[in-house]
């Protein structure tokens, strides 16, 4: 996993700063972010190598990602003894609640993970610094695909730099399926074929202890919905507005009822009981659709499942809807007092080959060719890389542009889809609610 020993839990705890918990809900991010804009520290062209500096760094993720970041930070501090990195991390939802609260009070971390869904809100309202003057100088970009650099743009300025890229994949637990007497699907599946497969798995796993289900309710996955839209010849965002109609969302969420009625999806009540553990990693589901780079995360779950990767379902081989998503962007808070050192830290996390060796493919395929040079692909890393290469010529879709409100659209999509899964709202009712939220968010 890494060229050096992972730091101990004690050292990680000692380094890790407290993560501020805010009462503000993440879905209210747009209102918070419009509260202040501009101003803050002026970017410095160079950093004083002798100045004693402390940088705050925050990310979302699990314990496995935390261990890798801590190991990388140890290397950075060895090479830069005058810089100390204080860290914090949380799950995705709590992470953005905290960042939104910090944005309102202008106390954002010096460096923090950024997602494409939130880039326009933070960049457009002046909460993160443009990286342009550091790119090509403090932050090397010659080994990064231009499209991945440009993915961090808002109004012609770069506000976040991708450290990786990834695509969605269908994961299958082969040994578990064999145990249940169900064959791993061969060849590409249509959506209906995948739903039938999930029902077959659940029927075979109903008498187990624990009970095994086909999958989670995949209609809750925001980015998978965008791939499905691409398969219908639609786009999520078109010229700053929604590129699909309410009936399209009804069609998508209607699939939820299908897989719950057949028993193919784990019941929402059972899914809610999982905390800090993935159902796939616990072998309580035999399949899921997720980012290919999550393979190590699932494989390191309590059941240590042996997983394979395949393309998500599609009904027309000429319309896969698949796209390359820039992953784990890094941004600098406008309030940072040490932006040049923060830029140097970003360069290290994105480009250093030893960091590449530490993370392997767990962040996705490294955005930087220099970082990729440090990876001796084997096992899970090799599996991810092989999958990415196999789908490279099938990516006929496009990631949505970074528009203001995209993060709110994601949060409300996930929240409202829960009501569909629990049967508290029909697909039509849920779609109507989401479209009302979406109109406000995009304004």
DSSP for 183-202?
PPP-SPPPHHHHHHHHHHHH
CB-neighbour burial class of residue 241 (10 A; exposed 0-12, middle 13-18, buried 19+): exposed
Q: SS3 for 166?
A: strand
- Beta-carbon contacts of 392 under 8 Å, excluding residues fewer than 6 positions away, are none
Two structure tokens written together for 11:
């050292």
**Distance from C-alpha of 71 to C-alpha of 162, rounded to nearest angstrom:** 20
What gap in Å lies between CA 77 and CA 57, rounded to an integer?
13
Count CB-CB contacts under 10 A for residue 42.
7
Model pTM score: 0.76
Give the Cα separation of 389 and 386 in Å (integer): 5
**Cα(133)–Cα(157) distance, rounded to whole angstroms?**
10
List Cβ neighbours of 186 (8 Å cut-off, separation of 6 or more): none
Q: CA-CA distance, 152 to 175, in Å (whole number)? A: 40
pLDDT at 219: 98
Q: Are 190 and 311 in contact (CB under 8 A)?
A: no
DSSP letter for 21, please. Answer: P
- CA gap 83, 77 in Å, rounded: 6
Tokens representing residue 166 in the block? 């990834």
Sheet of 287-291, strands arranged across: 287-291, 168-173, 307-310
Cβ atoms of 313 and 387 within 8 Å: the answer is no
Strands, E assignment, 61-167: 83-90, 111-114, 153-154, 157-158, 161-166
User: d(Cα 349, Cα 440) in Å, to the nearest integer?
Assistant: 36
Contact (CB, 8 A) for 387 and 221: no
Question: pLDDT value at position 401?
Answer: 80
Q: What are phi and psi of 283, to 5 degrees?
A: 60, 35
* Contact yes or no for 258/195 (Cβ under 8 A): yes
Q: Looking at residue 128, what DSSP letter applies? A: B
11-to-89, 186, 357 alpha-carbon distances in Å: 15, 46, 21
**Residue 327 host element (H or E):** strand 325-332
Give the helix/strand (H/E) hosting 322.
none
Q: Is the peptide bond before 431 cis (omega within 30 degrees of 0)?
A: no
Helices 406-422 & 222-231 angle (0-180, nearest 10): 90
Are 255 and 420 within 8 A, CB to CB?
A: no
Q: Helix, strand, or coil here: 301? A: coil
Residue 49: its pLDDT value, please?
79
CA–CA–CA angle 412, 417, 419 (5° rounding): 105
Query: Distance between CA 55 and CA 333 in Å, rounded?
Result: 11
Residue with tokens 């839209």: 229
Cα 282 from Cα 270, distance rounded (Å): 13
Classify strands 157-158 and 161-166 as parallel, antiparallel or unpaired. unpaired
Residue 26 per-residue DSSP state: G
What is the block-wise mean pLDDT of the chain (443 residues), using blocks of 10 residues?
34 36 32 40 61 96 92 97 97 93 97 92 93 96 90 92 94 98 96 98 95 97 96 92 96 96 95 87 97 91 96 96 91 97 98 94 88 85 89 89 84 94 96 94 83
- Residue 382 CA to chain centroid, in angstroms? 20
**Residue 139 DSSP class:** B
């Amino acid at each position: 996993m890494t060229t050096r020993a992972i730091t101990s839990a004690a050292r990680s705890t000692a380094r890790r700063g407290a993560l501020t918990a805010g009462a503000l809900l993440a879905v209210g991010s747009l209102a918070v972010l419009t509260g202040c804009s501009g101003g803050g520290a002026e970017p410095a062209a160079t950093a004083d190598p002798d100045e004693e500096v402390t940088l705050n760094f925050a990310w979302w993720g699990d314990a496995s990602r935390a261990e890798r970041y801590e190991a990388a930070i140890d290397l950075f501090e060895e090479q830069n003894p005058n810089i100390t990195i204080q860290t914090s991390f949380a799950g995705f939802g709590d992470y953005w609640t905290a960042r939104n609260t910090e944005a309102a009070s202008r106390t954002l971390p010096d460096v923090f993970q950024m997602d494409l869904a939130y880039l326009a809100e933070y960049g457009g309202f002046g909460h993160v610094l443009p990286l342009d003057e550091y790119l090509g100088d403090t932050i090397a970009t010659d080994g990064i695909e231009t499209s991945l650099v440009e993915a961090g743009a808002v109004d012609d300025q770069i506000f976040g730099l991708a450290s990786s890229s990834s695509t969605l994949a269908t994961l299958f637990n082969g040994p578990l399926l064999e145990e249940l007497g169900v064959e791993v699907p061969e060849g590409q599946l249509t959506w209906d074929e995948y739903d039938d497969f999930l029902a077959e798995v659940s029927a075979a796993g109903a008498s187990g202890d624990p009970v095994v289900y086909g999958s989670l309710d995949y209609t809750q996955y925001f980015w998978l919905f965008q791939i499905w839209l691409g398969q219908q010849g639609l786009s999520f965002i078109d010229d700053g507005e929604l590129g699909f109609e309410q009936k399209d969302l009804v069609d998508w969420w209607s699939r939820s009822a299908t897989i719950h009625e057949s028993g193919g999806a784990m019941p929402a009540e059972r899914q809610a009981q999982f905390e800090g553990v993935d159902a796939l990693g616990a072998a309580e589901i035999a399949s899921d659709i997720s980012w290919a780079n999550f393979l190590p995360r699932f494989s390191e779950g309590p059941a240590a499942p042996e997983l394979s990767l395949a393309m998500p379902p599609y009904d027309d081989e000429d319309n896969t809807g698949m796209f390359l998503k820039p992953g784990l962007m890094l941004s600098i808070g406008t309030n940072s007092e040490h932006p040049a050192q923060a830029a140097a830290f970003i360069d290290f996390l994105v480009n250093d080959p030893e960091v590449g060796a530490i993370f392997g493919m767990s962040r996705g395929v490294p955005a930087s060719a220099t970082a990729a040079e440090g990876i001796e692909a084997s096992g899970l890393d090799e599996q991810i890389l092989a999958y990415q290469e196999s789908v490279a010529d099938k990516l006929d879709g496009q990631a949505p542009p970074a528009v203001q409100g995209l993060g709110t659209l994601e949060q409300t999509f996930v929240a409202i889809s829960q009501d569909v899964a629990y049967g508290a709202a029909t697909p039509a009712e849920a779609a109507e609610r989401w479209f009302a939220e979406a109109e406000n968010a995009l304004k």
